[in-house]
């Protein structure tokens, strides 16, 4: 049929010779290719309507208008690539340039379709609750780079008339140079895979990376950067390979746990630690600070022990404290600034503001109560303290 059309045109077109015949054939091929585009677009529109009416959601994520438009744009190139050899098979040099352009267009269209497919697949996974926490963006960017690289290799091989294997061989010889040029990309690719596979960091995690002044919530994990929104609303970008090669702190396990730890100490004036007499013990019992179980019959109680037992009981009875986790009030090694007393417990909330309020309320109660046990918090002398000494002993500073 194609030969008959070619012969008919050559017999009936006498003006211009082969140049006019070629122009008419190319115009007809272009018209048929345009019709193929609209036919493919209409067929894919019907597919798209059926996808929207289907009860599943995955097909809606993958087959969207952007994807069907890209697929329909491939139809005219395929039609032209098929028709050109049919009409010009005996003299391919006449349309060699057009055949090369068509091949490049087909290659570009296929790569673009794959890019859109990968993007749609990533969006679909990012919308699912079971896959949203994973840092999969870098993996999908890796696949996009692979397809782009394959497309470039095939395009270069088509342009210079070599096989793709020959291009790969040449690239292998230049691997050292390529590794230097794409060092950050290669390191980011490997690090993104490690971060994802080992679940080291995910979007939404609270991380702290002192080496890069990052302390906030991870917003995005891509092939080359990890974007962190700090608590002052500034943005810090950290290379993924830095998180793999250096240490960083991920607080997300604490946020998802049953409590947040408080490990805070204060310094006690060691000179105020003493034994309590019977009147003091009776007064503390009457006010509910201690119970009869706190003191053994043959024991002469120490005020610091009574205060420690009271604070532990206070913490266990506080509904904001998770008493099922480790809870204690303990002494640390003495220092020149006094005896450190540490409160070690976990709050039920992990939210930052509520956690700080709970911690502050507990220590406010501690500071207000400690004097009742005859204890004092150590504090370095300030200006008012020295003025008090000077006013009570006028000649004390002159001795």
Q: 226-253: per-residue pLDDT in tens?
A: 899 998 889 998 888 888 888 888 888 8
Residues 36 and 142 in one domain: yes
Model pLDDT, residue 337: 87
Residues 169 and 57 in one domain: yes
Residues 139 and 9 in one domain: yes
pLDDT at position 314 over 60: yes
For residue 267, tell me if it sits in a domain. Answer: yes
Residues 120 and 38 in one domain: yes
Residues 317 and 357 in one domain: yes
For residue 161, tell me if it sits in a domain. Answer: yes
Q: What angle do CA 225, 260, 230 make, to 5 degrees?
A: 30
The pair of three-digit structure tokens given for residue 269, joined into one six-digit string: 């004036």
Binned at pLDDT 50, 70 and 90, residue 339 comes out as: very high
- The mean pLDDT of 366-389, rounded to a whole number, is 80
- Encode pLDDT of 34-55 as tens digits: 888 888 888 888 887 887 777 7
Residues 168 and 75 in one domain: yes
Residues 361 and 213 in one domain: no
Residues 138 and 202 in one domain: no
Domain holding 215: CATH number? 2.30.30.60
Domain extent, residue 277, equals 260-383
Q: Who contacts 136 (Cβ-Cβ below 8 Å, separation ≥6)?
A: 122, 125, 126, 196
Residues 207 and 298 in one domain: no
Percent of the residues in the chain that have a pLDDT greater than 90, as a whole number = 24
The pair of three-digit structure tokens given for residue 140, joined into one six-digit string: 């999908």
User: 3-class secondary structure for the chain?
Assistant: CHHHHHHHHHHHCCCCCHHHHHHHHHHHHHHHHHHHHHHHHHHHHHHHHHHHHCCCCHHHHHCCHHHHHHHHCHHHHHHHHHHHHHHHCCCHHHHHHHHHHHHHHHHHHHHHHHHHHHHHHHHHHHHCCCCCCCCCHHHHHHHHHHHHHHHHHHHHHHHHCCCHHHHHHHHHHCHHHHHHHCHHHHHHHHHHHHHHHCCCCCCCCEEEEHHHCEEEEEEEECCCCEEEEECCCCEEEECHHHHHHCCCEECHHHHCCCCEEEEEEEEECHHHCCECCHHHHHHHHHCCCCCHHHCCCCCCCEHHHHHHHHHHHHHHHCCCECCCCCCEEEECCCECCEEEEEEEEEECCCCHHHHHHHHHHHHHHHHHHHHHHCCCECCCCCHHHHHHHHHHCCCHHHC
Give the residue from 73, 143, 76, 140 showing the smallest Cα distance to 113.
73
Chosen domain end from 206, 228, 252: 252
Model pLDDT, residue 258: 78
- Encode pLDDT of 94-142 as tens digits: 566 777 788 888 888 888 888 888 888 888 887 777 766 666 776 777 7
Q: At what angle do helices 303-317 and 352-369 cross, to 10 degrees?
A: 150
- The mean pLDDT of 70-86, rounded to a whole number, is 80
pLDDT at position 399 over 50: no
For residue 390, tell me if it sits in a domain. Answer: no
Residues 182 and 202 in one domain: no
For residue 310, tell me if it sits in a domain. Answer: yes
Domain holding 357: CATH number? 3.30.70.100
Looking at the DSSP bridge assignments, the partners of residue 206 are 217
pLDDT at position 178 over 90: no
Residues 227 and 294 in one domain: no
For residue 321, tell me if it sits in a domain. Answer: yes
Stronger pLDDT, 181 or 293, i.e. the higher one: 293
Query: Domains in the chain: how many in total?
Result: 3
Q: In what order do the strands lie in the sheet with 260-268?
A: 260-268, 339-347, 328-331
For residue 391, tell me if it sits in a domain. Answer: no
Q: At what angle do helices 74-88 and 18-53 cross, to 10 degrees?
A: 150
For residue 396, tell me if it sits in a domain. Answer: no
Residues 50 and 121 in one domain: yes
């Amino acid at each position: 049929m194609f030969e008959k059309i070619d012969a008919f045109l050559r017999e009936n077109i006498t003006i211009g010779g082969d140049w006019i015949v070629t122009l008419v054939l190319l115009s007809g091929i272009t018209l048929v290719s345009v019709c193929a585009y609209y036919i493919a677009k209409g067929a894919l529109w019907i597919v798209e309507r059926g996808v929207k009416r289907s009860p599943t959601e995955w097909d809606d994520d993958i087959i969207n208008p952007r994807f069907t438009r890209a697929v329909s744009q491939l139809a005219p190139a395929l039609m032209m690539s098929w028709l050109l050899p049919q009409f010009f098979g005996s003299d391919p040099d006449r349309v060699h340039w057009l055949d090369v352009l068509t091949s490049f267009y087909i290659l570009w269209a296929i790569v673009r379709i794959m890019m859109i497919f990968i993007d749609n697949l990533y969006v679909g996974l990012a919308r699912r609750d079971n896959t949203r926490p994973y840092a999969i963006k870098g993996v999908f960017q890796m696949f996009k780079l692979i397809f782009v690289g394959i497309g470039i290799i095939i395009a270069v091989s088509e342009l210079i008339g070599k096989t793709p294997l020959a291009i790969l061989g040449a690239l292998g010889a230049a691997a050292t140079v390529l590794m230097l040029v794409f060092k950050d990309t290669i390191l980011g690719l490997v690090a993104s895979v490690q971060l994802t596979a080992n679940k080291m960091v995910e979007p939404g995690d609270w991380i702290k990376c002192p080496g890069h002044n990052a302390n906030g919530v991870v917003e995005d994990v891509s092939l080359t950067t990890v974007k962190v929104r700090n608590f002052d609303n500034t943005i810090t970008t950290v290379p993924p390979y830095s998180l793999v090669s250096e240490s960083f702190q991920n607080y997300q396990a604490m946020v998802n746990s049953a409590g947040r730890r408080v490990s805070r100490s204060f310094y006690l004036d060691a000179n105020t630690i003493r034994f309590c007499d019977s009147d003091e013990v009776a007064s503390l019992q009457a006010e509910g600070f201690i119970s009869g179980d706190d003191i053994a019959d043959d024991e002469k109680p120490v005020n610091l022990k009574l205060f420690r037992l009271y604070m532990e009981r206070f913490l266990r009875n506080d509904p904001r404290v998770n008493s099922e986790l480790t809870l204690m009030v303990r002494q640390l090694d003495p220092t020149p600034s006094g005896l450190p007393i540490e409160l070690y417990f976990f709050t039920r909330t992990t939210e930052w503001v509520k956690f700080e309020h709970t911690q502050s309320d507990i220590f406010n109660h501690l500071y207000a109560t400690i004097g009742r046990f005859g204890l004092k918090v150590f504090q370095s002398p300030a200006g008012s303290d020295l003025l008090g000494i000077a006013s009570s002993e006028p000649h004390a500073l002159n001795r």
